[in-house]
Structure 1
């Protein structure tokens, strides 16, 4: 989940001990880290449950949008959040990091509040776009504060701490959101709006870091934007770079389904009651045990959070294990492992196997995702290093954008349990369209179960056996394999080119 924010860190400083380096960091550095933790906590808390909220029944407090509508929201979100940082970084350098962060916080708060209060597609879409914009503006500002914190030869440790905060925030957020949504869906958005507002207070605790002086006459914002846009678009068509970005986007198409589609699949099809009962017995928790035996389920967002938890505890040893492997080789192997994980997690109704798949996916993510910046740094011309680093989000934009639309249409047609249950009512029970449409979404399964004299769980198993919704994950797995094979062929070609074979 969060390793796609990893950065290229220089060699660790050898002149000083680790603890001495940590103690030497100033107030701006620690303030930026706390702000990052809070922002990631809020962001991932919302993102972890958002796929469920968007399609949940109105009677349950949800929006009851279709998966196609959900996919269109995420596709636009991908473009805004992934591509806007290509341009916002320059503005943070010119106009101030604290001001940039403050502006982003304000945008994010408005976004969260709109998401809490707007139940029409247009209003909710606007809230999501504001959150995506605020996130894109926040990143360059807070990273600029750290980059200008006089790190010297402590940069490796400094960035390691920063990305640890990313992972910790990304791990805590979904757990907190899972409890908040038990009270109401609106609590998730209001609480995270209040949480991110705390960063206003932290901004008052340190001075604006010194920024590199701008030489010459400052162009107008419009002229500056056009110049940055032209430079970014022109250079992205460099053949080696373009080929890598396009091929790697297949991985990100598959990657984002873990967070945008798998929660819905778990909610519809996966039975975690046995796993919950086992955990209750193992941990000596009688309440958890009884809940599992009674058919209680583990919330999907908590299962998905296995990914973030694995990253928090295993990122350092995984990074050390693959540190000597060439970035492109680590990326290729990581895609293979992630593909195995995503297919396993979506091919079963058994909660334990699904959780195992998520864990395997996380291992592959830790192998592939952090290496993209290292690889881009290896192929970048020395005078275009910063520009190439900005391209790191392009594969995510392409993959997330296309995958959201594809996944939304596929799930709505082939895997949405309510849709399949209604089709059964029409085809097998010969109910009229009017009668089916009159059934509230949260009562469709109970109605069908009553008609068949079965339990809702038995009906779920019947629909799963009839329609095989797990097959949609084979499509995403095939895309992951295609991305891997493409990168293998790409690497075979580029290693013969004059560019140094550090890639």
Structure 2
């Protein structure tokens, strides 16, 4: 157990909770609203991009969707690596305000466009706004916590993230039944409320001289801004190549490759393969709601993001106790355990068409996520030198970016050719029923399954779905992503033996040494 964790345990849960100041609580409100807006869009956008135009979708291929997510990852997760240093220099509140403006423009743009490239640009605006936002808000949080309350502070922050992450998709699931435009406009309005919250607190001390205002000419000020930009950029990249830091970020990228499939791929898998009508029927019978029962009997499904929302729901209610219990573990050890549990959960979630097993897998995944993910922020905050909290909080997003980019490149073709129900139905029509390839290719997206169902004399599209599942076994794709998670866990074990134990021994020796 680390010294900070020992202090937190000895102080008691509620005493630690009341030790936080106004900046901490306001930063959590800002994070709540930002995540509400973000996940309101992200929760269902994977389905929106590939859905048929007849149901309001964009009809992109999974390869096009993967390309958008690839660049989304690059903008959102790699930019904070260099932006973090600028957040330290210019101020975290200024950074957050600028980020809100960019994201709001992006959400509004999403509501107004439907072509591939215009939608791509709108997504990049949201990604850039989120990239600028992260080191700013995390820098405020890092500077408003101490070594005595950091573990609980980051656990609380992660719980708040998931309250927003739960609320957004829950409301968006209803809004998109009316129109997807309402989803995007609502997210823009919710995020705009953060401009007000910024006025309610002063920025915590950043450990360096604040940004100066003087009477220099405009040209001198512009020159200084560019000069300082490149200086901070060089410093950010230089710190990134520290061997222990580089290995930690590289190894944790594997976890993020696996993690992001919960949001980028599992919604598509649920929409294609999981029979969610069974859950609707169960709750209809449980509560005596005849409308739900009839909804299920008609074979209608619930939005996939509502099932994914079980992850956020579990974190809302379990994050603080799990953070408290596993706060007794070293951060690296907790991350190793969490990665293993999350890998197992992902396989369970995608292994069958059974909605209850899918929910169980998502819940198990959430347990692993709660153990592993918050500790990486705490760990990098511990490593950060004074005055570089924002820089190191920017590094938090580096492994997510690498893992997300690689995962998108991998998931796009894997699902397009081995998991997409429409693709597999077209394949069966051509290869097994000898239908002309050109004829099959011209079938509208929403007519492929009914055509195959009729050709096979099936009673329903649901029967055809079960037939395709047993024929092509799309569940096997999840073993690929779980294997990456296990490799990440093994890499973290190696990092622990090579660097972390030595660092901890040095830290303990320094704390035990008498003051000069």
**Counterparts of 1:105 and 1:196 in 2: how far apart (Å)?**
7
- Deviation, 1:163, is 4.2
Change in 2 beyond 3 A, CA 1:11/1:185: farther
Q: Indicate yes or no: 2:496 matched with 1:491.
A: yes
> For the Cα contact (< 8 Å) 1:280–1:286, is it kept in 2?
yes
Q: Deviations over 1:397-447 (max 9, x none)?
A: 110110011101110011111111111111122222332232210121112
Match of 2:247 among 235, 243, 249: 243
Provide, for residues 252-273 of structure 1, a one-character-per-residue CA deviation record: whole Å limited to 9, x for no partner.
Answer: 1001001100000000011122
Cα offset, 1:225, TM superposition: 2.3
Q: Find the aligned partners of 2:74 and 2:158 in 1 and give their Cα distance.
A: 23
Q: Distance in 2 between matches of 1:389 and 1:109?
A: 23
Determine the structure 2 residue equivalent to 1:326.
Answer: 330
Task: Give ranges in structure 1 of 5+ residues lacking alignment.
Answer: 1-7
SS in 1 for 2:275: coil
Counterpart of 2:31 in structure 1 is: 36
Shift in Å, 1:34: 3.0
What is the aligned partner in structure 2 of residue 414 from structure 1?
418
1:217-263, CA deviations, whole angstroms, 9 ceiling, x for partnerless residues?
98722222222222222232222222222122111100100110000
**Which secondary structure does the structure 1 equivalent of 2:505 belong to?**
coil
Query: In 1, distance between residues paired with 2:110 and 2:83?
Result: 24
1:391 corresponds to: 395
Give the alignment of 1:325-474 within 5 angstroms.
325-377=329-381, 387-454=391-458, 455-474=460-479
In the alignment, the residues of structure 1 paired with residue 83 and residue 436 of structure 2 have an alpha-carbon distance, to the nearest angstrom, of: 54
Report what 2:218 is aligned to.
none
TM superposition shift of 1:20: 11
Give 2:209's aligned residue. 213
* Aligned-pair CA distance for 1:377: 4.8
- How much does 1:281 deviate? 2.4
**Do structure 1's residue 268 and structure 2's residue 263 form an aligned pair?**
no
Give the count of matched residue pairs. Answer: 495
Question: Secondary structure at 2:193's aligned position in 1?
Answer: helix
Q: Is the 8 A contact 2:5 2:328 kept in 1?
A: no
- In structure 2, what is the Cα distance between the partners aligned to 1:224 and 1:398? 27
1:80-132 Cα offsets, whole Å, 9 max, x none, are: 11122233334344445444333222211211122122222111110011001
CA drift at 1:155: 7.2
CA spacing shift, 1:294–1:310, aligned 2, 3 Å: same
- TM-score normalised by L of structure 2: 0.86
The secondary structure found in structure 2 opposite 1:500 is: helix
How big is the shift at 1:383? 8.4
Work out the CA distance in 1 between the residues paired with 2:54 and 2:363: 34
Aligned Cα RMSD in Å? 3.2
After TM superposition, give the deviation of residue 332 of structure 1 in Å: 1.2
Would you say the 8 A contact 1:107–1:133 is kept in 2?
yes
1:138 alignment partner, one of 118, 130, 133: 133
Cα displacement string for residues 35-79 of structure 1 (whole angstroms, at most 9, x for unaligned residues): 322111010110000100010111211111111111111111112
Residue 306 (structure 2) pairs with residue 302 (structure 1): yes
Contact preservation (8 Å) 2:105, 2:125: yes
Question: Which runs of no fewer than 5 residues in structure 2 stay unpaired?
Answer: 215-220, 509-516
Q: Whole-Å Cα distance in 1 between the matches of residues 146 and 18 of structure 2? A: 11
Matching of residues 278-293 of structure 1 within 5 Å: 278-293=282-297
8 Å contact 2:111–2:185 — kept in the other structure?
A: yes
